[in-house]
Structure 1
Amino acid sequence: MMKLLTRYPFPPLIIVACLLLVGVVLSNYVGILSIHFPDRPAFLPKSAEICEGRVSRMASQRLRGLRLWVDDLHCRDGEWMQPVSGVAQLTVMGGAPSPLIGDRIRFRSHLHTPHRYHNPGAPDWERKALADGVAWTGSIESGDWMMVVKEGAWSPLRWVDQWRQKLAQQISTISDPYIQGSASALLLGNAGLLPDTLGDHLRYLGIIHLYVISGLHVAIVAWAAYELIYWLLSRRSRWALRYPLWRWSAAGAIVLVWIYAALVGMGVSVIRASVMISVYLLARIRDRHAHVGAAIALAAIILILQSPHVIFLPGFQLSFVAVMALVGIYPKLIQRFKIAQLRSRTLRWIGEAIIAASVATWATAPLVAYHFHQTPLLSVPANLLAAPYTTLVLMPLGLLWTVCSAIPGVSAFLQHLWVWAATPFVHVISVSGEWAMNSLWTFTPTIFEIVWWYALIPLSLWERARVKGIMTWCAVGLLIVSLHSYNYYKAQPLQITFLDVGQGASVLIEFPNRKTMLIDAGGAPGSDFDMGRWVVAPALLARGIAHVDTIALTHPHPDHYGGMAYIAEHFHPTTYLTNGAVGEERDPQWSAYMQRMMDAGMQATAVHNGMQSNEGDVQLTWRHPPVTGPDPIQNTNNGSLVADIQYGDFRAVIVGDVEKEAEGKLLQTDELGPVDVMQVPHHGSRTSSTEAFLNRLKPKIAVAQLGFENRYGFPHQEVVARYKRLDTALFRTDLDGAISMSTRPKSGMIIKKIGN
């Protein structure tokens, strides 16, 4: 293996590209086997609540609870504990003490298979769980619902875990959540404590990678370990004369690098960097030259063999693309611009930093836009200012604090010193991040556009046909721009998209005049999971929507308003419509929602029955039972807004959670008639979709928005039977994902399942 790594200069781009292709093929087979072991059936009793298992990885503290990974699972089925295959990922609420790796715990939780929201642009949590080897997920509602029944035996990993938890306890004493989250990310590789606002600012500036333990951190550890060991060994003259100290120093540095990798959680970028540095140090021990391309290939082999599905994760792709660009392009640009010939050391450093930041930003830009649908235009200057400070100040202080965390007085002093150094840095990020939010470019490239972007690499480096190649690349780029311009200016259809927001509702309407309306935004009752941030916003950005003109809340229930505040804060709607009702004053979720809407400058406009608006040739009429007046609706669901949308011969209705009483009131007038598309009322409950209501509307297509394996049993079978009797095509977001309907006058309707 060492001969392969030191003798043959394989091109890293070709090797890793081939490995990615192999990983795609193997992922359909190996990934499944890595979850379901052949000697144990994939078994989980539906009634199981009490389970036991062994903590298999180091715990990770998150804003929303403690994250644990448990294997060797046994769950109670009646009076017996039955084995369950696979690893369970658990979130413990309520500030529970963290068990150590190897401990056997008993807990109470409902386990379920990982599930994602099937919308365009949605994070692929199913694929990430598969890459992590996770077969089950669950939450433990209180720390009292978990106990350690048997402590694990001593092991090197358990010792590292104790060290990690001691440092985590010291970090938890920092009062400022921004500084605490920064320390957790930079010292422990745990970004789970980063406040959402700070994470957004880092992304807006394009410096979120500085808060991820990567090659730079590992290289500093390797250099410091090598120099320290060499210095200690050189203190003894006999050893210095008898043994080649650089070999022992390199061997010791390899060991310390992997201890550090275990301490910070063994992320993709950490493993990649640790493998590459280990290859370099092994080559130094054998007095050989380590080829960087072969080291990159070995790191990719190890990660893909561990889990083929890792190639689909943004972290894997961004990490390898960035390092390959720096290895392959950076030296050539340094040579081309003659940076090494500059007399001033400061100018050389500035030139090298500008080229490095530009190359990394240019190489990762398509992937950042593809996965996150936004490109920070201030990435290069932000990196030039932030990277030196984190590299030269925060990281060395953090490593010193980590090493001395077991010495009480020294660790307290280093903690205060690190906090003092990090405070102005985080403050500048917070201030500049607010301003940088307006410099984002919302764009989601196609696969063809990504290939076109990366085609510039060989064309620009190919000496013989550089001019012709770049001219061809520019011509294709102009063609892409022309196609985008044509699509922008041509007449647009009316498009209605029913998003998959779990057990909730959210409907996006894109009018032919390019204005947009969002009716409801989903939500998770009793949870701080922000449906707007993690589900609705990515779906909007994936469709190129950076501004929503109108938001409408059908009624004040958390499964409809839960994600609306984030949309109001980041998509700057001009109009906010409600039915005039308010939530319960004692409900903390509603109070928090109202405060965020006020902070976003949203003024609610109460819609009255029969209120109309026109968006081009589309007429939208609001119909709903009264929530105030002499005969108000008492049930909150029955007060839902009803949107009646007409575009030529096409008609659609969005009905929120209306039930039997509201449906009866809506039938008292002749305003509603046969429709082409209808939202299934109240997620398909038996209290809605009455025979009389369906017979009046006679929907051709109905869409039920509901959660996967929801606890309510929606949609009820009797409701499904009613739609079937009318020959209505019934779609379900829990099974079909997001459903989109588009139509033009006198041209029919196109229905697509657009959940990725």
Structure 2
Amino acid sequence: MPTFILGFAAGAYWLQTQAALPAHAGTTLAVACLVCLLAGYVLRHQHALLRLLSGCAGGVILGFFWAAWLAQLALAPQLALADEGRDITVTGTIASLPYHFEQGVRFNFAVEKAVGAQVSPLIALSWYKGFRDEVTNEVGDVQPGERWQLTVRLQRPHGNANPMGFDYEVWLLEQGVRATGYVRPQPRADTPNVRLDGFVVSFGNVVEACRAALRARIERSLVSKPYAGVIVALVVGDQRAIPQSDWQVFNRTGVSHLISISGLHITMIAGLVALAAGALWRRSFFTGWQLPLLLPAQKVAALAGAVAALLYVLLAGFGVPAQRTLYMLMVVAIALWTGRITSVFHVLCLALGVVVLLDPWAVLWPGFWLSFGAVATILYASVGRISAPVAPDASRWQRLRAELALGAHTQYVVTVGLVPLTMLLFSQVSLVSPIANALAIPVVSLVVAPLSLSASLLPAPLSDWLLLLAHFIVQLLVQLLEWLSIGPFAVWTAPAPPWWSFAWALFGTLWLLAPRGWPHRWLGMLSWLPLMTALPASPAPGQLWVTAFDVGQGMALLVETHGHRLLYDTGPAYGVDSDGASRVIVPYLRARGIAKLDGLIISHSDADHAGGAVSLLENIPVGWLASSLAGGHPAVVAQHKLGKPYLHCAAGQSWQWEGVRFEMLHPLAASHDDMSLKPNARSCTVKITAGKHAILLAGDIEAAQEAQLRARLGSDLAADVLLAPHHGSGTSSTPAFLNAVHPSLAIFQVGHRNRYKHPKAQIYARYGELGITRLRTDEAGALTLEFGETVTVTGYRASHPRYWYGR
């Protein structure tokens, strides 16, 4: 059975790497099930190795086609392309815990009826306070389970596609969301945005309403408290109110797994409830009824713990770590009730099988691998090992010391055992994690989480006092974690390892954690050397790599020579605490093992170019910053605080890195004193030449600046690749300018269905009429250009095809 389950998980993962789904997956699945049953019957008396291999192969086949069948079902509800971007009136219920942010609210909406269009059963909506440049839009007070009539504009799921980036499209697919959009201002009197029913009773609505009530209660008690979001995350699993700065501290100290309803918390709560239920049942609730004669206290405790775990997991939103713990506890409870003794390894495999059976996309997320990897590591390093038992007459201090030793050993095993997996998934490992977790695990799991849960259920004012106490403890803990995270060696970074390096490190880790007596266990740590000391890949001297990120409606390009790296623009600001740098650029740099940038050019102050500047400077060391920004801009202030050089872009500036020449062509130095110029007119324009090929990065210059460049530079403007000025707007890319540059390839960094309709149809057509190859990041994803003897271009969606990308 374990080999079949492991094969089943491998088959589900294999399916998630496919560019297209197999045809007739449901029929094939049914045939495969019959074949596997027949093969199992025929091979039941054969050699053990043959049964093992056949079970694994059957699991792979069934896992593959099971995942394919579920994927076909999930993809079937599809919004028609003709219905994208037009007003549709829908009726349905609020199907999730609403997230309130500065500009409005976001929620999932279960559609019951749509007028004039075929809409998928579940859609994700945003309701903004002010709708762009139109009249003010009043946001409704939406609550889980309420029935509303709304006028919306929808589009098919679409997310930014970048190497090592978060895949928003498959995340939506896993959630069952097949369209996203926003609520329109009240368009007509006969179709208002209005609440129809106060609450629609269903199991899911009741769960979400309970989560909303608990969250509201915590927020009322901890109004304006900085770590109220942490308490909310521990009680109802909603982490969206935790700011990015706090997540940075948690990630650098390796305790982010605690700032949610993790398996550790669920096990602890289930254990406490089971202990209390068992104790009360043994004493017959002090009634003298002799209840243990009717049902053993052990079974009652197992049932109570399983029910408590289920309720807590429902509050958590049913994440993978919570699912894994719940299923393991359920299996243990069933084993106790049925009297069947089962091994811990079988329990883990059954939990794995149930998770993948219900959610085959779970294998795509780091939490899945870390969750099962942590438990598997603990089992490998503990089950079957002989340890000195504690004497029955041992003192309380001796028992405490034994428990502390066991806890320290478990923490050591998890920390060491997950190093290869952590480097593979995140390209970094926290060196202070053992200390941070030794402090944070008992504080959060044994103090903060029980306090927060108890306070959420107790009446006021007792609940307020307990929540304030829990928040005070979290505040002290975070201050300590901040101190641990600021050291230069708090985190070790390296590029994401190749498969052979990961496999070698995994083998060495198993050797390191082998039982006592195993020869030279310490040698296992040497297997980490290729993993930890790898250097980022870079072009050969004289060559150039350029990565145009898919950041939506904005610009951000990484320019790499053999020994230097420059970032041109930092992408847009998506919200108060989210931008192109934090979502796309910084994760990419870390995955590549790039620990610093030699230079940063911010073309101008528009938010789609400078929106990620501050978060980039806070996360990645930057040698120097050049821009056309005013002295009071937050990015300039941040650079000065860091004590790093800052200068204005000015035509005539130039430098060379490993044979690659960089020339600043615009703006003129005097333009920085001309307050009549728009920011676009001062866009830093850079030409980069590697051998006989060049790329021109033109920012948001417009027709007037294009004419100035032609007049000053003439044929020196020529470049093989052009970053389309102003995203292909109607005010740029004049025929004369395009003829002067004479590119063979143009890159349009634009957002999917962006509000400006960039690139403009006539401008896009103009490039095509001139024979220029056109590539758009909203269609191709991130673009990687390699300048050598020739210029080669790779689009991320083409090089990393997945079945959910199809439009």
Task: Name the TM-score class by shorter chain.
Answer: 0.7 to 0.9
Alignment of 1:85-104 (within 5 A): 85-92=120-127, 99-104=142-147
1:278 equivalent among 330, 338, 341:
330
Contact 1:97/1:143 (<8 A) preserved: no
Deviation of 1:42 after TM superposition, in Å, equals: 8.8
What is the identity, as a one-letter code, of the residue corresponding to 1:281? A
Question: Is residue 723 from structure 1 mapped to residue 776 from structure 2 by the alignment?
Answer: no
2:561 equivalent among 500, 505, 511:
511
1:496 equivalent among 528, 532, 546:
546
Contact 1:375/1:441 (<8 A) preserved: yes
Q: Matched residues in 2 for 1:623 and 1:383: separation? A: 52
- 1:663 corresponding residue in structure 2: 706
- 2:418 corresponding residue in structure 1: 364
- 1:547 corresponding residue in structure 2: 596
Identity of aligned residues (%): 25
Change over 3 Å in CA distance of 1:57–1:607 after alignment to 2: closer
Q: Matched residues in 1 for 2:660 and 2:323: separation? A: 55
- 1:654 corresponding residue in structure 2: 697
- 1:605 corresponding residue in structure 2: 647
2:154 equivalent among 104, 111, 114:
111
Contact 2:783/2:795 (<8 A) preserved: yes
- 1:47 corresponding residue in structure 2: 86
What is the identity, as a one-letter code, of the residue corresponding to 1:293? F
What is the identity, as a one-letter code, of the residue corresponding to 2:378? L
- TM-score of the pair, normalised by structure 1: 0.86
Q: Matched residues in 2 for 1:220 and 1:581: separation? A: 54
Q: Matched residues in 2 for 1:437 and 1:658: separation? A: 42
Q: Matched residues in 2 for 1:409 and 1:614: separation? A: 67
More displaced stretch, 496-505 vs 143-152: 143-152
1:259 equivalent among 283, 302, 311:
311
- 1:138 corresponding residue in structure 2: 181
Deviation of 1:106 after TM superposition, in Å, equals: 2.7
Contact 2:90/2:149 (<8 A) preserved: yes
Contact 1:679/1:703 (<8 A) preserved: yes
More displaced stretch, 690-699 vs 113-122: 113-122
What is the identity, as a one-letter code, of the residue corresponding to 1:506? A
What is the identity, as a one-letter code, of the residue corresponding to 1:68? F
Q: Matched residues in 2 for 1:568 and 1:695: separation? A: 37
1:670 is paired with a residue of what secondary structure? helix
2:747 is paired with a residue of what secondary structure? strand
- 2:619 corresponding residue in structure 1: 570
Q: Matched residues in 2 for 1:227 and 1:477: separation? A: 42
Question: Is residue 34 from structure 1 mapped to residue 74 from structure 2 by the alignment?
Answer: yes
Equivalences, count: 728
- 2:572 corresponding residue in structure 1: 523
Deviation of 1:664 after TM superposition, in Å, equals: 0.7
- TM-score of the pair, normalised by structure 2: 0.81
Contact 1:532/1:564 (<8 A) preserved: yes
Contact 1:42/1:84 (<8 A) preserved: no
- 1:170 corresponding residue in structure 2: 217
Contact 1:66/1:92 (<8 A) preserved: yes
Question: Is residue 230 from structure 1 mapped to residue 278 from structure 2 by the alignment?
Answer: yes
1:191 is paired with a residue of what secondary structure? coil
Deviation of 1:304 after TM superposition, in Å, equals: 2.3
Deviation of 1:469 after TM superposition, in Å, equals: 12
More displaced stretch, 363-372 vs 166-175: 363-372
Contact 2:309/2:326 (<8 A) preserved: yes
- 1:211 corresponding residue in structure 2: 259
More displaced stretch, 237-246 vs 206-215: 237-246
Per-residue CA deviations over 1:662-688 (Å, capped at 9, x if unaligned) read: 111111123524322221111112322
Deviation of 1:659 after TM superposition, in Å, equals: 1.6
Deviation of 1:532 after TM superposition, in Å, equals: 0.9
- 2:720 corresponding residue in structure 1: 676
1:380 equivalent among 427, 434, 437:
434
- 2:507 corresponding residue in structure 1: 455
More displaced stretch, 542-551 vs 726-735: 726-735
Change over 3 Å in CA distance of 1:339–1:251 after alignment to 2: closer
What is the identity, as a one-letter code, of the residue corresponding to 2:727? H
- 1:419 corresponding residue in structure 2: 471
**Runs of 5+ consecutive residues of structure 1 not aligned to the other structure:** 1-7, 583-589
1:134 is paired with a residue of what secondary structure? coil
2:158 is paired with a residue of what secondary structure? coil
Deviation of 1:384 after TM superposition, in Å, equals: 1.4
1:623 is paired with a residue of what secondary structure? strand
Q: Matched residues in 2 for 1:728 and 1:684: separation? A: 13
Alignment of 1:210-359 (within 5 A): 210-233=258-281, 234-235=284-285, 236-240=287-291, 242-246=293-297, 247-331=299-383, 335=386, 344-359=398-413
Contact 2:717/2:741 (<8 A) preserved: yes
Change over 3 Å in CA distance of 1:597–1:411 after alignment to 2: same
Deviation of 1:461 after TM superposition, in Å, equals: 7.9
What is the identity, as a one-letter code, of the residue corresponding to 1:553? I
Q: Matched residues in 2 for 1:481 and 1:591: separation? A: 38
Contact 1:204/1:436 (<8 A) preserved: no
Change over 3 Å in CA distance of 1:65–1:305 after alignment to 2: farther
Change over 3 Å in CA distance of 1:335–1:743 after alignment to 2: farther
Per-residue CA deviations over 1:723-744 (Å, capped at 9, x if unaligned) read: 3333322222111122222234
Contact 2:423/2:497 (<8 A) preserved: yes
Q: Matched residues in 2 for 1:14 and 1:427: separation? A: 45
Per-residue CA deviations over 1:484-504 (Å, capped at 9, x if unaligned) read: 579679757321221111111
Change over 3 Å in CA distance of 1:83–1:228 after alignment to 2: farther
What is the identity, as a one-letter code, of the residue corresponding to 1:741? L
More displaced stretch, 722-731 vs 553-562: 722-731
1:297 is paired with a residue of what secondary structure? helix
- 1:587 corresponding residue in structure 2: none
- 1:4 corresponding residue in structure 2: none
Per-residue CA deviations over 1:72-121 (Å, capped at 9, x if unaligned) read: 254444xxxx4411411234456967645432123344322232222212
Per-residue CA deviations over 1:22-78 (Å, capped at 9, x if unaligned) read: 55554444224124349x98984531254332233444566876442222254444x
Contact 2:536/2:594 (<8 A) preserved: no
Contact 1:12/1:294 (<8 A) preserved: no
More displaced stretch, 664-673 vs 204-213: 664-673
Contact 2:571/2:579 (<8 A) preserved: no
Contact 2:93/2:200 (<8 A) preserved: no
Q: Matched residues in 2 for 1:45 and 1:670: separation? A: 44
**Runs of 5+ consecutive residues of structure 2 not aligned to the other structure:** 15-59, 130-137, 801-807
Change over 3 Å in CA distance of 1:383–1:506 after alignment to 2: same
Q: Matched residues in 2 for 1:520 and 1:159: separation? A: 46
Question: Is residue 628 from structure 1 mapped to residue 671 from structure 2 by the alignment?
Answer: yes
Deviation of 1:547 after TM superposition, in Å, equals: 0.5
Contact 1:108/1:146 (<8 A) preserved: yes
Contact 1:105/1:147 (<8 A) preserved: yes
1:750 is paired with a residue of what secondary structure? strand
Deviation of 1:606 after TM superposition, in Å, equals: 1.1
What is the identity, as a one-letter code, of the residue corresponding to 1:732? R
Q: Matched residues in 2 for 1:411 and 1:505: separation? A: 48
Contact 1:93/1:143 (<8 A) preserved: no
Q: Matched residues in 1 for 2:325 and 2:424: separation? A: 24
- 1:537 corresponding residue in structure 2: 586
Deviation of 1:623 after TM superposition, in Å, equals: 0.9
Change over 3 Å in CA distance of 1:18–1:350 after alignment to 2: farther
2:554 is paired with a residue of what secondary structure? coil
Change over 3 Å in CA distance of 1:98–1:432 after alignment to 2: farther
